[in-house]
Structure 1
Amino acid sequence: MKWIRRIAIAALAVLVLAGGAALWKREEIGRLMAVNSLFAPDRIVANFSNMDEAFLSTPISTGPGTPLPRGPEVALPEGAEDWIADRAVTGLVVLHDGAITHESYHLGTTKDDLRISWSVAKSFLSLLTGILVEEGALSLDDPVTRHVPALGGTAYGGATVEDVLQMESGVTFDEDYFDRDSDINRMGRTVALGGALDDFTAALTGTNRMPGGEMRYVSIDTHVIGMVLRGATGRSIPDLLDEHLMGPLGIGASYYVTDGEGVAFVLGGLNMTTRDYAKMGAMVERGGRVGDLQVVPEAWIDASTVPSANTAPGGMRYGYQWWMPRDARPGEIMAQGVYGQFVYIDRISDVVIAVNGADLGFRGDGVSAGNIEMFRRIAAAQG
């Protein structure tokens, strides 16, 4: 009978929808579980090489990339092997005069692993910002609301592009990675559950200082930079990065972790090989050039990599999404991320050190100073 057939079809449709919902929920739960075990001691190394298995992601560059030249092998300084073990270093690439003088991989990783950048990604976004400023898509004095009207009436309502580049937006945001209920971890769960980071950002209304005041490191400011660049160009960050940086740098396979809307997690979701992180450092070390090609305006390299933010006395100093040691030497710059990710650049000595790691003790007393000291010793050993 027709009515029996209709009931059967309706029941089948319900089962299909229920099955689809169950599959979606299973994937969502899986991502949430991945967040909760991301830094587990027995899983952190593998997780950091396979972020696309735990989170939504989108490719940036898919080509083979270009090789880095090799120079004479230079021995690491005394104590480096202990440092590698103590800091759970997974990849170490050293360049001198643009050529590899040391390359090693540890804890079961290889040269082909696409390692998570964490906040090293912020420095990539700074470079892209400089290119787009040079092209006239935006200026540092622009209110962020000029390019992202949705942020009007939020904590970012009075901030400029320069304010967010220097982490001086004034937003109230808890960056404690070890507090499950901190804002940074709530944001991580938003990504895991397929939420929208733009909505998460627009819901932030609290401020604790005026824009342009004291620098306080809050990663959500970098997401706002990404929102501004998307608003100013009408394009996605992966597309912009591939065109303006990945291609000219010769970076091979790479991808971003994304939220549920496909928006790149620009504040820390970049993944590529350790060699390719070194390529970025080499370009910055050469004043924004790759061979005869000016990839990033030299004026932006010079302006963005000097202490310009209102950092607290006695601590690390900050520019436009770049770090400098508190006792920084001329030309000494760092991109750095949690758990031991670094691109250290010594422009005077023509040395770049790219490091990936899985360092659960990265916040320990003296660890940061010890890392900088080791980078300086490795640089000095290059001659």
Structure 2
Amino acid sequence: MIDQEKTTLDRLPLFNGTSQHESFSSFKEILPTSRMPQSAVPCEFPDGEPISLPPTYEFGGATRSLEGFLSDTDTAALLVLKDGVVRYERYALTGGRNVQWISWSVSKSFVSALVGIAIAEGHIRSVDDAISDYVPVPTGSAYDGVRIKEVLQMSSGARWNEDYHDSSSDVFRLGAAMSDVGTLDAFVAGMVSESRPGTVCRYNSGDTQALGALVVHATKRSLTDYMKERLYEPLGMTSPGYWLIDSVGMEMAFAGLNLTARDFAKLGELYRKDGVWKGKQLVPKAWVKASITPDALHLMPGMPILADHTLPLGYGYQWWIPDGNRNEFSAIGIYNQFVYVDPSRGVVIVKLSSNHAYGTTMTEETNREIETIECLRAISQQFD
């Protein structure tokens, strides 16, 4: 089901310091979307004994108020699972248990799962295949001859600027391709190379859009239909989900998935359990392991590049890997969307937010992503 009689993403006021929670909770009403109905057999997480949040956490050599942080980052949903049981849940602003919230780049991790499933089903031969074996792109363009693995690891070598503070950057141009004067596929086909593939991890939303095109071309299905059958239905999603789409119906693979907090949590729980859900292997175990394992120097914490700086995080197959020895991993989206997983403690935490300061600079002081990880770690440590 597709609704295209709406506005377009490039007309929305983003990264200018204004409040965003009204729109983030209602993108399915204001932007063109495709729809995934709730599962025929919905699966609800059981509720367990409630926990209290820790009053403080440590960051930057200081003790900080956790409640203050949640308020400052305009947190609309906070959901904490321990061993698949809900131990904490709260909503604020325009969030709610049945509210579909925009994922932004959390959707990248869903796309990665779909690539893994498509390989397991034989639609794609291997991550060592060139993505151009499946996706039609011009000879010599950014993705011509580049291995799927390198695209998964944000190491395609494509020239890119993911600066949210610069309205002329590539990520803004990609968003503008959602309008009726362009398409996402055409944008990807027009990208050019900058570095040798597999040598630099440069965060690039264009890479994920190329992966979305890969799934579509390899499976001969839309992302919406393929996800509905391979993830949405078997995971027992309890509410409808929505993908933002361009003028020809192609999904905004890099950032356009809208789900409830509890349904976002199911991807984290699925990966915490090595791809198994209710006894069935939905995502291959080897794919889950590869997805959350930086396997080269340029992917290690401190090496991935975002815009003009490096991040103290590692990178896998469209998943971020915090530094440390707890084997944590996280899907992360702009404005502080998180699906954080701490397997050592059996914990999955979803934080949905609309941090109004996000993108007004490209610094940690406004974007607060590393601080969010420390906040979520403090919550997870409650279960020691």
The residue that corresponds to 1:365 in the other structure is: 364
How far is the alpha carbon of 1:119 from its aligned partner? 0.5
How far is the alpha carbon of 1:54 from its aligned partner? 2.5
Aligned residues: 354
CA distance 1:42–1:176, change in 2 (3 Å): closer
The residue that corresponds to 2:99 in the other structure is: 113
The residue that corresponds to 2:272 in the other structure is: 285
CA distance in 2, matches of 1:382, 1:330: 14
How far is the alpha carbon of 1:42 from its aligned partner? 5.0
Match of 2:299 among 311, 315, 327: 311
The residue that corresponds to 2:61 in the other structure is: none
CA distance 1:270–1:245, change in 2 (3 Å): same
Q: Which runs of 5+ in 2 are unaligned?
A: 57-65, 303-311
Which structure has the highest strand share of the two? 2
The residue that corresponds to 2:33 in the other structure is: 57
Structure 1 residue 219 corresponds to structure 2 residue 205 = yes
Match of 1:126 among 112, 116, 139: 112
CA distance in 1, matches of 2:103, 2:25: 10
Q: Deviations over 1:208-261 (max 9, x none)?
A: 111111110000000111111111111111111111111111112101000111
CA distance in 1, matches of 2:18, 2:165: 18
Q: Deviations over 1:71-91 (max 9, x none)?
A: 110111113222211221110
Structure 1 residue 67 corresponds to structure 2 residue 44 = yes
Residues 101 and 258, structure 2, Cα contact 8 Å, conserved in 1? yes
Structure 1 residue 348 corresponds to structure 2 residue 344 = yes
CA distance in 2, matches of 1:146, 1:365: 39
CA distance in 2, matches of 1:289, 1:149: 33
The residue that corresponds to 1:331 in the other structure is: 327
5 Å-filtered alignment, 1:82-101, equals 82-101=68-87
CA distance in 2, matches of 1:329, 1:272: 31
5 Å-filtered alignment, 1:61-210, equals 61-63=37-39, 65-79=42-56, 80-138=66-124, 139-193=126-180, 195-205=182-192, 207-210=193-196
How far is the alpha carbon of 1:40 from its aligned partner? 5.7
CA distance in 1, matches of 2:246, 2:34: 10
**SS where residue 369 of structure 1 aligns?**
helix
**SS where residue 249 of structure 1 aligns?**
coil
CA distance 1:337–1:32, change in 2 (3 Å): closer
Say which one has the larger Rg. Answer: 1
CA distance in 1, matches of 2:293, 2:314: 8
Residues 126 and 321, structure 1, Cα contact 8 Å, conserved in 2? yes
The residue that corresponds to 2:380 in the other structure is: 379
CA distance in 1, matches of 2:145, 2:89: 46
How far is the alpha carbon of 1:150 from its aligned partner? 2.9
TM-score by length of 2: 0.87
How far is the alpha carbon of 1:63 from its aligned partner? 4.3
Residues 17 and 357, structure 2, Cα contact 8 Å, conserved in 1? no
Q: Deviations over 1:277-316 (max 9, x none)?
A: 1111111111111121111111111111111352376321
CA distance 1:149–1:61, change in 2 (3 Å): same
Residues 38 and 47, structure 1, Cα contact 8 Å, conserved in 2? no
How far is the alpha carbon of 1:61 from its aligned partner? 2.9
Which structure has the highest helix share of the two? 1
The residue that corresponds to 2:305 in the other structure is: none
The residue that corresponds to 1:246 in the other structure is: 232
Residues 194 and 259, structure 1, Cα contact 8 Å, conserved in 2? no
Which AA in structure 2 matches 1:75?
S
CA distance in 2, matches of 1:120, 1:130: 16
How far is the alpha carbon of 1:181 from its aligned partner? 1.0
CA distance in 2, matches of 1:279, 1:381: 21
Which has the higher mean CA deviation after the structures are superposed, 261-270 or 228-237?
Answer: 228-237
How far is the alpha carbon of 1:51 from its aligned partner? 1.0
Match of 2:248 among 258, 261, 279: 261
**SS where residue 224 of structure 2 aligns?**
helix
Which has the higher mean CA deviation after the structures are superposed, 241-250 or 46-55?
Answer: 46-55
Which AA in structure 2 matches 1:192?
S
The residue that corresponds to 1:14 in the other structure is: none
Which AA in structure 2 matches 1:161?
I
How far is the alpha carbon of 1:193 from its aligned partner? 3.5
**SS where residue 300 of structure 1 aligns?**
helix
How far is the alpha carbon of 1:123 from its aligned partner? 0.5
Which AA in structure 1 matches 2:81?
L
Residues 158 and 211, structure 1, Cα contact 8 Å, conserved in 2? no
Which AA in structure 2 matches 1:380?
Q
Alpha-carbon RMSD across the aligned residues, in angstroms, is 1.9
CA distance in 2, matches of 1:73, 1:143: 48
How far is the alpha carbon of 1:338 from its aligned partner? 0.4
Structure 1 residue 237 corresponds to structure 2 residue 233 = no
Q: Which runs of 5+ in 1 are unaligned?
A: 1-23
How far is the alpha carbon of 1:189 from its aligned partner? 1.5
**SS where residue 81 of structure 2 aligns?**
strand
CA distance in 1, matches of 2:11, 2:89: 30
